[in-house]
Structure 1
Amino acid sequence: MKLKRYFQVTKPGIIFGNLISAAGGFLLAAQGPVDWLLLLATVAGLSLVVASGCAINNCIDQDIDAKMARTQKRVLVTGAMSTKAALTHGLVLGLAGFYTLWRWTNPLAFACVMFGFIIYVGVYSLYMKRNSVYGTLVGSLSGAVPPVAGYCAVTGRFDMGALILLVMFSLWQMPHSYAIAIFRFKDYEAAGIPVLPVVKGISKAKQQIVLYILAFAVATVMLVLGGYAGYGYLAVACATSLWWLKMALSGYRRETDDRAWARQVFFFSIITITSLSVMMALDGQTPKPGGRVVMTADAGSYR
C-alpha cells in the first residue's frame, strides 16, 4: 500500500514519543485554563516537523540502514519507496509543520523547533553520526526540543523552566541511546557508526549510563526546586530515577547478559520519560516571580 510506505518512512514511534513530551512541556507551562487550539497547533506543527526530519534522515541513512539488521526492511532500503519520493514527502511535511508553528504559535516556539530540526538533519544526520563518538551528545539536543517548544509556545519566553527541560531531556537521551547501542552492538559495528560502546567498549558505556542517569535524576528534581512542579511529580521522578539507576547498576554483576540488561535499561527509559511527561502535565505549578528570562517573544499567535 502506497500510503503505508509514506507513513512508515516518517518513523511514527518517534513522532508519538515526541508528541507526549511536547504535550507535557505545554501543560507544565499552562496553569489554569488550557488554550486547546494552541496545544493542537503546537503538537500538530511539531509532529509534522519531526516526521519531516525522520523522512529526510531515512534518505541520508540508506547506506547505513542496509548494513544493520534492524533497518534492512525500511522502505528505502528495500526499494519499496524511491529516495525522491521520500525526500519530497519530507520537505512537504516540514513546510506544513513550520507554517503551522509560524502561523498559530509564536516565534520562540518556531525557533526552538527550527533549532532541533537543523541539529538533527544538518549536524547529526549529515556529519556527527558517521564521524564522531560525540554524535549521540549532539543528537540529544534535538531530542530535547519538543518539551521545550511546548513550554515556550505557552509562555513565549525561554526561562529557567525551559532550560531545566532542555537539560533534563538531553541527559535522558544519553543512557537511552547508549543502551540501544549496546543491545544493537553488532548492527552499529557492521555499519561503522562510532557510538561509544563500539569505540570505547561496553564497560565504558555502562559507566556513562550510570553517570548520566545520576545527572538526569538531579535535573528532574530541579523542576520542583524551581517551583515548576509539585510533590506528586517529585514522588514519580524519584521513584523512576532511582529504579532506573538500580537497573543500570545491576549491569556490573558478573553474570549479567549485556544485551538483555541493555534492553531492560532501554525499555525502562521509555517508562521513565513517559511517566515524567504525564506528571509534568498533571502536577505543574506557577513558580514565584524572579526567574531569570533568557529570551522572550510574544506569547500570542504569530500572524
Structure 2
Amino acid sequence: MKLKRYLSVTKPGIIFGNLIATVGGFLLASQGRPDWLLLVATLAGVSLVVASGCAINNCIDRDIDARMSRTRSRVIVTGAMSVRAALAHGLVLGVAGFACLALWTSALTVACVAFGFAIYVGAYSLWMKRSSVYGTLVGSLSGAVPPVAGYCAAAGHWDSGALILLVMFCLWQMPHSYAIAIFRLADYEAANIPVLPVVRGISAAKRQIVLYILAFAMATLMLAAGGYAGHGYLIVACATSLWWLRMALAGKTAPDDRVWARQVFVFSIITITALSVSMAVDWQVPVYTTAWL
C-alpha cells in the first residue's frame, strides 16, 4: 500500500516519542495556563519536521541500512520506494513543518527546530555517524530539541529551564544509544559504523553508560532545584534514575550482554516517558528566572 510506504519512511515510532517529550516541555513552560491551539501547532510543526528528517535520513543511510539485519527491509533498501520519492516526501514534510511553526509559533521555536534538523541531517547523518565515535554525542543534540522547542513555544523565550531540558535529554540519549549499539553490535560492525562498542569495546561502553546515567540523574534534579517542577516530579526522577543506574551497574556481571543492553534500552524509554509526563503535570512557577533570548 502506497500510503503505508510513505508513512514507514518517516519512522512513526520516533515521531511519537518526540511528541511526548514536546508535550512535556510545552506543559512545563505553560505553568497551568496552556494555549491549546499553540500546542497543536507546535506538535504539528515538530512532528512534520521530525518526519522530514527521518525520511531524508533513510535516503542518506540506504547503503548502511542494506548491510544491517534490522534495517534491510526498509522500503528504500528493498526498492518498494525510490530515493527520489522519499527525498521529495521528506522535503515537502519539512517545508510544511517549518511553515506551520513560522506561522503559529515564535522565531525562537523555529530556530530551535532548525538547529535540531541541521544537526540530525547534516552533522550527524551526512558526516559524524560514518566517521567518528563522537557521532552519538553530536546526534544527541538533535534528539534533545523537541522538548526544548515545546518549552520555548509556550514560554516565548529561552531561559535556564530550556537549558536544563537540553542537557537532560542530551545526556539521556547517550546510554539509550549505547545500549542499542551493544545489543545490535553485529549490525553496526557489518555496516562499519564507528559507535563506541565497536571502536572501544563493550566494556568501555558499559562504563560510559553508567557515567552518563549518573550525569543524567543529576540533570533531572535541576528542574526541581530550579523551581520548575515539584516534589512529585522529584520522586519520579529519583526513582527512575536510581533504578536505571542499578540496571546499568548490573552490566558488570551480566551473563549475556545483549539481554542486559536490551533491558537498559527498554527502561530508558520508560524513564524519559515518565519524566516527560511528570514534568507536564507537576510544574511549578520558579521563584526567580531570567529570559536570555
TM range (shorter): over 0.9
Q: Distance in 2 between matches of 1:187 and 1:130?
A: 14
User: Residue type of the partner of 1:249?
Assistant: L
Once residues 276 and 259 of structure 2 are traced to their aligned partners in structure 1, the CA distance between those partners, rounded to angstroms, is 26
CA distance in structure 2 between the partners assigned to 1:113 and 1:46 by the alignment: 7
- The percentage of counterpart residues that share the same residue type is 75
Aligned to 1:222: 222
Deviation of 1:197 after TM superposition, in Å, equals 0.2
What is the CA–CA distance in structure 1 between the aligned matches of 2:255 and 2:240, rounded to whole Å?
22
Name the counterpart of 2:145: 145
Asked whether 1:134 is paired with 2:120, we answer no
Where do 1:31-70 residues align within 5 Å? 31-70=31-70
CA distance in 2, matches of 1:177, 1:294: 31
Q: Secondary structure at the match of 1:100?
A: helix
For 1:256 and 1:216, locate their aligned partners in 2 and report how far apart those are by CA, in whole Å.
26
Shift of 1:195: 0.1
Corresponding residue of 1:182: 182
Map 1:189-208 to 2 at 5 A.
Answer: 189-208=189-208
> 2: distance between equivalents of 1:259 and 1:32?
43
Whole-Å Cα distance in 1 between the matches of residues 156 and 113 of structure 2?
A: 14
Deviation at 1:155, TM superposition (A): 1.0
Unaligned 5+ segments in structure 1 are 296-303
Counterparts of 1:78 and 1:193 in 2: how far apart (Å)? 21
Letter in 2 for 1:122: G
Amino acid at match of 2:282: D
* Distance in 2 separating the partners of 1:94 and 1:122: 14
SS at match of 1:285: coil
Partner Cα distance (1:216, 1:294) in 2: 24
- How far, CA to CA, are the matches of 1:132 and 1:32 in structure 2? 43
Offset, 1:156 = 1.3
Give the Å deviation of 1:32.
Answer: 2.7
TM-score normalised by the chain length of structure 1: 0.96
- RMSD of equivalent CA atoms: 0.6
Deviation of 1:292 after TM superposition, in Å, equals 3.6
Matched, 1:81 2:81: yes
Question: 1:293 maps to which residue?
Answer: 291
Specify the SS of the correspondent of 1:58: helix
Show the 5 A alignment for 1:115-134: 115-134=115-134
- Separation (CA, whole Å) in 2 of partners of 1:96 and 1:117: 14
Give deviations 1:255-274, integer Å, cap 9, x for gaps. 52000000000000000000
Structure 2 letter corresponding to 1:270: I
Offset at 1:278?
0.3
Q: 2:132 corresponds to which letter in structure 1? A: S
Contact 2:34 2:154 in 1 (8 A): no
Instruction: Judge conservation of contact 2:206–2:248 (CA < 8 Å) in 1.
Output: yes
Offset at residue 33 of structure 1 (A): 2.4
Once the two structures are superposed, what CA deviation does each residue of 1:69-127 show, in whole Å capped at 9, x if it has no partner? 00000000000000000000000000000000000000001100000000000110000
Q: Aligned runs of 1:152-167 on 2, under 5 Å?
A: 152-167=152-167
Deviations 1:242-261 (A, max 9, x none): 000000000001x5200000
Q: Secondary structure at the match of 2:128?
A: helix
Distance, in Å, in 2 between the alignment partners of 1:134 and 1:56 is 21
Where 1:55 maps in the other structure, the secondary structure is helix
Aligned match of 1:274? 273
Distance 2:119 2:240 in 1: 29
C-alpha distance in structure 1 between counterparts of 2:272 and 2:284, whole Å: 19
TM-score by length of 2: 0.99
Q: Deviations over 1:9-52 (max 9, x none)?
A: 00000000000000000000001321100000001100000000
Whole-angstrom distance in 1 between the partners of 2:90 and 2:78: 18
Name the structure 1 match of 2:18.
18
Instruction: Look up the match of 2:5.
Output: 5
Q: Match of 2:125, as an amino acid?
A: S
- Secondary structure class of the residue paired with 2:10: coil
Aligned match of 1:211:
211
- 1:284 is matched with 283
The runs of at least 4 aligned residues of structure 1 exceeding 4 Å deviation read none
> Which residue number in structure 2 is paired with residue 112 of structure 1?
112
Aligned counterpart, 1:299: none
Maintained 8 Å contact 2:32/2:283: no
